[in-house]
Every structure is written in structure tokens, then in C-alpha cells.
């Protein structure tokens, strides 16, 4: 079993306390029991398990259940008083590690280890070891199931289904089977087993239709911190007006990112930074990127990462980025990135650490995670983020041209089931000079309300009326937009 040898070596290293942070409690107990059973008679060490509900029980041999000391203080005093070697697995003991009495008792056990080899194994989803005990601790990271192990888990689930349904056999699409093995990567043994069973027991088969559900369930298991959002509905690039150059750039890189054999000699693309004017389609382009690559879209919300406790912000970011790695291949969308990594008044130090964590991950990641970062204010971005090599390209999303305004208008009319033949699209597009894509959409929405109130079908005149009384952002903030355009002219690639 994966991880058995490593855990056995740590147990033999004569370390008094072994810390294991994992949610796969049952799997680790199986490993410990298998190690205990295989031990030679002259080195055999009894194995005990403690929980707050059942107390201390021996689990390496079959005995009648006999609980001893269910109280944390009592069990530590019992272990300290025992004069024989033993391995004591304390489950979910982390809430009691702040107690000075418990720290002292654990330290007493550790300091007497050379005389009596009593080992403590702390298993929980998170364990913060007090400074006084750090010198006596070793940490073990439970290995996640390998490709071979995941294939074995799926095979076992297939066998169980066949036994429970006599006369029927699981129908297996070989390509879907390979993808299922790949998509279950990054999960614990128990979670892998559960999702494999769900995929098979749903319809008695392994097909491509099972994969989206597996990916959604996998994301929900991994994203316990809530900083990432799984975007279930990604846009098609046909929903994006204009951006011809960006579409062509992404289409060229799709085979490489997807790992096609014909492009094996090329480095996979890292990501792009989309700068531009608010409301011009940067977010929609991020969604459409996932669609053109044919992979899941994850959105990183920096607002939920920042925490008042020291170190928590960086930990949440690392967990989020690790989730993206495990979900790969995927697109990671970071909306308004400048708000997450620029100095936030009193949080400048935290912002710098967040930036450092993010840059390190960008430089060292091996997974196929394509970053789409969007920003409205280039002046707030640190130079180390936008230097060459961080992103493959920096694109500027400008206000749409007349032709693109017509395309955007046609898209929004069609999505609302309005026949294009009823409108003078070209005239409307010309009247919307300086409008962003969002402002064009809102003109259509407002016109629909106006026409409905008048009990009339939507017509060109209704949209023209809304356009006439709208002051677009290009007028309200003309100076700032002019500065942004001047900066981007020589430093970025235009999307059109």
C-alpha cells in the first residue's frame, strides 16, 4: 500500500511524536495496523487508538473492546505511567494541545523515550504543535493514491457492483476509464473510492457522461476553504464580440495545452494578463478561454483569502493554488488581480507575502493550469508580476470598434430572442460610439423594459432612446481612459 514503507521508517526513527495531517483517518489506521502485524516478534510494539468518545483501545490484535481513560489528561497520564513500549494513536487531539498540563505530560513522555519507547501519533485534519514540543516531532505526509492505486480502486468498485447485481456487468468505455483514473488524481483513498463508486453505481457503466459529475464532486471536496469558485457555465467564444487576435492566439495554443502528441516538443502556455477598460469583456473572455481549451474554469476570489490572523491569508492562498494544481488541466481566472496583490493600506506586509507566494507558485508549478488574470488599473500592479516570463502575453481590451459594437449588439439581441431583421443594427452601433460591451447590453435591457411598459415590441427607437440618455464611462472618465490607452499602445497586444 502507498506510504507504508515511509511511515514504517518514521516509526523506526525513534521520534517520540509523529504528526499526520490528513482527512483519510481510516486509511492511516490501516497502514499502522499492517505495519504492526508485519513486525518481527522481537521488535513487536502494541498499537493503541484513543478517541474522546471511546477512550483508549488496543487495535493491533482482536480483543474485547475495553475503553481506558476517555479524558485527554487521563490518557496522557496513563501513557506516561506505562512501563512498556507502545504506539498510541490519538485521533483529533488538536483542540487539547493548548493546555499547559497536556504540553507538560507530552514532554514528559518524550523525554523518557530512550528508557521506554512510547510513541505518540497525532492524526487530525490540522495539527498546530506547540513550540515546546516541536523538537520531539516528525511529520508524515500521507501519499495520495497513484495511478496504479486509483485503477485498483476502480477495479474493486466494478467487482463490487457485479457481485451486488448478479447477471449484469459494468459497461466500460476504455477512454472514459483512462480519463476517470486521471480525474481522480489528488484525492484521498476514501474520496477516490467514494467517487469511483458513485460514477459506476449511477448507471452501471463508466462513460464520458460520468466525468463532469466526478469533476464537480472532486472540486467540492478539495475547495473546503471557499476561496475558489467552480464556474459551471463557461461562455463560448461566439458569445464574445470582437477580440479576433486573442481568439486566434488561444486557438493556436489549444493543442499544446491539451497535451496533444503532435505538440509534445512545445512548452505548455502559462497564461495571459488582460488589461483594459471596465465592461469591455475581460471576464467574458476568461470564461470563453476555458471553453476553447475544453477544461474546467476556477475563479480565485482574493477577497475571501485575506484573514486577520497572521499567516492565515498565505495558507488559504497556498491551499487554493494547490486545489488548482490538483484540478489540472484547468483555467484559473483571477478577476481584478490588482485588488488582491497591491498594498491594501494597513495590510501592505500581508500583500507582499501574498505576492511572494503567488510568484513562487507561478515559477515552480508543473501542472497544466492556465492563468487568465484581469486588471483595470495597471498602475497598481507590481513590476515583478508583469515582467516578461510571468505571463505569455499581456493583452489590452479596448472599447469596441463600430464593427464589434454591431456584433455585440447582435449577440445580446439574439440571446433575448429578438429577430435581428427588426433592427437597424449598423445605425445603432454607430450611435453607440464610446460604449463598452456592458453598456451596450444594458441599453438593450433598459429598452426591453421601456418597450414592455408601453406594451410595444422592442424596436430600434427604444434602444436609440436609451442610448441618447446614457453617458458612457468613456465620457465620464475620459482622462483616465486616455492615460490607460496611451500606456497600453506600446506595451501590450491589442485583442483586436
- pLDDT at residue 3 in the model: 67
Give the ranges where 88-231 is alpha helix by DSSP (H).
Answer: 100-111, 147-164, 174-183, 189-203, 211-222
- C-beta atoms surrounding 78 within 10 Å: 17
**Does 105 share its domain with 155?**
no
pLDDT in tens, the chain (496 residues): 456 788 888 888 889 999 998 888 888 898 888 888 776 566 678 999 999 998 998 888 776 666 677 899 999 999 999 999 999 999 999 999 999 999 999 999 999 998 998 999 999 988 889 999 999 999 988 777 888 888 999 999 999 988 898 888 888 988 888 888 888 887 888 888 889 999 898 888 998 888 888 877 877 776 665 577 777 656 666 667 778 888 889 999 998 888 887 777 788 899 999 988 888 888 888 888 888 888 888 888 777 777 665 567 777 788 788 878 877 888 999 888 887 776 544 456 777 888 888 888 888 888 889 999 988 877 778 888 887 778 999 898 888 888 888 988 998 998 889 998 889 999 999 999 989 888 999 999 999 999 999 999 999 999 999 999 999 888 888 888 888 888 888 888 888 7
**Does 245 share its domain with 386?**
yes
- pLDDT at residue 346 in the model: 47
**436 Cβ neighbours under 8 A, 6+ residues apart:** 277, 278, 279, 280, 399, 400, 472, 473, 474
Residue 97 is given by DSSP the state T
Residue 481 domain-assigned (yes or no): no
> Would residue 170 be called left, alpha or beta, if left means φ above 0 and alpha means ψ between -120 and 50 degrees?
beta
Question: Cα separation of 316 and 320, whole Å?
Answer: 6
Question: Cα separation of 360 and 305, whole Å?
Answer: 17
Question: Cα separation of 473 and 479, whole Å?
Answer: 11
Residues composing the chain:
496
**Does 281 share its domain with 389?**
yes
**489 Cβ neighbours under 8 A, 6+ residues apart:** none
Q: How many domains does the chain have?
A: 4
- C-beta atoms surrounding 310 within 10 Å: 10
Start-to-end CA span in the chain (Å): 54
**Does 185 share its domain with 268?**
no
Question: Cα separation of 280 and 288, whole Å?
Answer: 14
Question: Cα separation of 320 and 226, whole Å?
Answer: 8
**Does 406 share its domain with 391?**
no
Residue 205 burial (C-beta neighbours within 10 Å; 0-12, 13-18, 19+): middle
Residue 79 domain-assigned (yes or no): yes
- The domain boundary, picked from 87, 120, 139, lies at 139
**Does 279 share its domain with 188?**
no
Question: Cα separation of 485 and 332, whole Å?
Answer: 26
**Does 151 share its domain with 244?**
no
Report residue 95 as a C-alpha cell.
483542540
Cα 422 to chain centroid, rounded: 45
Residue 231 domain-assigned (yes or no): no
Q: Is the peptide bond before 329 cis (omega within 30 degrees of 0)?
A: yes
Which helix (H) or strand (E) covers residue 428, if one does?
A: helix 425-431
**156 Cβ neighbours under 8 A, 6+ residues apart:** 193
- The domain boundary, picked from 397, 428, 463, lies at 397
Report residue 351: phi and psi, to 5°.
Answer: -60, -40
Question: Cα separation of 212 and 208, whole Å?
Answer: 8
Are 274 and 433 in contact by the 8 Å Cβ rule? The answer is: no
- The domain boundary, picked from 397, 416, 437, lies at 397
Residue 386 burial (C-beta neighbours within 10 Å; 0-12, 13-18, 19+): middle
Domain region containing 31: 4-139
**Does 199 share its domain with 127?**
no
Instruction: For the chain, give the longest Cα–Cα distance.
Output: 94
**Does 15 share its domain with 161?**
no
- pLDDT at residue 225 in the model: 58
Question: Cα separation of 416 and 113, whole Å?
Answer: 74
Residue with cell 492511516: 28
Question: Cα separation of 490 and 161, whole Å?
Answer: 62
- pLDDT at residue 465 in the model: 92
Which CATH number characterizes residue 452's domain? 1.10.8.60
Which CATH number characterizes residue 103's domain? 3.40.50.300
- pLDDT at residue 215 in the model: 78
Question: Cα separation of 374 and 301, whole Å?
Answer: 12
Residue 348 domain-assigned (yes or no): yes
> What residues pair up with 228 in beta bridges, in sequence order?
300
Are 121 and 7 in contact by the 8 Å Cβ rule? The answer is: no
**Does 257 share its domain with 242?**
yes
**Does 263 share its domain with 389?**
yes
**Does 172 share its domain with 71?**
no
Residue 376 domain-assigned (yes or no): yes
Amino acid at each position: 500500500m502507498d506510504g507504508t514503507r515511509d511511515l514504517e521508517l518514521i516509526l523506526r526513527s525513534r521520534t517520540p511524536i509523529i504528526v499526520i495531517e490528513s482527512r483519510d483517518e481510516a486509511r492511516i489506521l490501516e497502514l499502522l495496523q499492517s505495519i504492526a502485524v508485519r513486525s518481527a516478534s522481537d521488535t513487536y510494539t502494541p498499537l493503541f487508538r484513543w478517541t474522546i468518545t471511546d477512550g483508549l483501545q488496543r487495535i493491533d490484535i482482536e480483543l474485547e473492546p475495553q475503553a481506558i481513560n476517555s479524558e485527554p489528561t487521563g490518557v496522557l497520564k496513563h501513557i506516561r505511567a506505562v512501563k512498556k513500549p507502545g504506539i498510541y494513536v490519538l485521533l483529533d487531539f488538536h483542540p487539547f494541545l493548548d493546555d499547559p498540563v497536556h504540553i507538560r505530560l507530552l514532554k514528559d513522555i518524550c523525554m523518557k523515550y530512550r528508557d521506554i519507547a512510547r510513541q505518540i501519533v497525532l492524526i487530525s485534519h490540522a495539527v498546530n504543535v506547540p513550540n515546546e514540543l516541536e523538537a520531539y516531532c516528525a511529520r508524515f505526509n500521507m501519499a495520495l493514491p497513484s495511478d496504479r492505486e486509483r485503477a485498483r480502486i476502480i477495479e474493486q468498485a466494478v467487482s463490487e457492483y457485479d457481485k451486488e447485481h448478479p447477471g449484469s456487468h459494468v459497461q466500460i468505455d476504455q477512454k472514459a476509464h483512462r480519463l476517470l483514473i486521471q480525474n481522480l488524481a489528488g484525492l484521498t483513498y476514501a474520496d477516490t473510492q467514494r467517487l469511483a463508486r458513485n460514477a459506476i453505481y449511477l448507471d452501471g457503466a463508466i462513460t464520458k457522461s460520468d466525468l463532469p459529475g466526478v469533476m464537480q464532486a472532486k472540486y467540492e471536496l478539495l475547495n473546503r476553504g471557499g476561496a475558489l469558485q467552480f464556474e459551471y457555465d463557461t461562455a463560448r467564444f461566439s458569445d464574445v464580440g470582437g477580440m479576433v487576435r486573442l481568439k486566434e492566439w488561444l486557438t493556436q495554443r489549444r493543442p499544446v495545452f491539451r497535451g496533444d502528441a503532435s505538440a509534445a516538443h512545445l512548452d505548455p502556455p502559462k497564461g495571459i494578463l488582460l488589461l483594459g477598460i471596465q465592461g469591455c469583456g475581460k471576464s467574458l473572455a476568461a470564461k470563453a478561454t476555458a471553453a476553447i481549451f475544453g477544461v474546467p474554469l476556477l475563479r480565485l476570489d482574493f477577497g475571501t483569502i485575506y484573514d486577520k490572523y497572521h499567516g492565515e491569508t498565505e495558507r488559504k492562498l497556498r491551499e487554493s493554488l494547490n486545489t488548482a494544481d490538483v484540478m489540472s488541466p484547468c483555467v484559473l481566472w483571477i478577476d481584478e488581480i490588482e485588488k488582491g496583490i497591491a498594498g491594501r493600506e494597513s495590510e501592505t506586509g500581508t500583500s507582499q507575502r501574498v505576492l511572494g507566494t503567488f510568484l513562487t507558485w507561478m515559477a515552480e508549478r508543473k501542472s497544466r493550469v492556465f492563468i487568465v488574470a484581469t486588471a483595470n488599473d495597471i498602475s497598481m500592479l507590481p513590476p515583478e508580476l508583469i515582467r516578461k516570463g510571468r505571463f505569455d502575453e499581456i493583452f489590452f481590451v479596448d472599447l469596441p470598434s463600430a464593427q464589434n459594437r454591431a456584433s455585440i449588439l447582435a449577440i445580446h439581441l439574439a440571446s433575448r430572442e429578438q429577430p435581428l431583421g427588426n433592427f437597424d443594427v449598423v445605425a445603432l452601433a454607430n450611435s453607440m460610439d464610446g460604449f463598452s460591451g456592458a453598456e451596450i447590453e444594458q441599453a438593450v435591457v433598459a429598452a426591453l423594459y421601456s418597450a414592455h411598459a408601453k406594451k410595444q415590441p422592442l424596436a430600434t427607437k427604444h434602444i436609440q432612446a436609451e442610448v441618447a440618455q446614457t453617458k458612457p464611462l468613456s465620457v465620464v472618465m475620459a482622462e483616465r481612459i486616455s492615460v490607460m490607452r496611451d500606456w497600453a499602445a506600446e506595451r501590450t497586444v491589442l485583442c483586436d
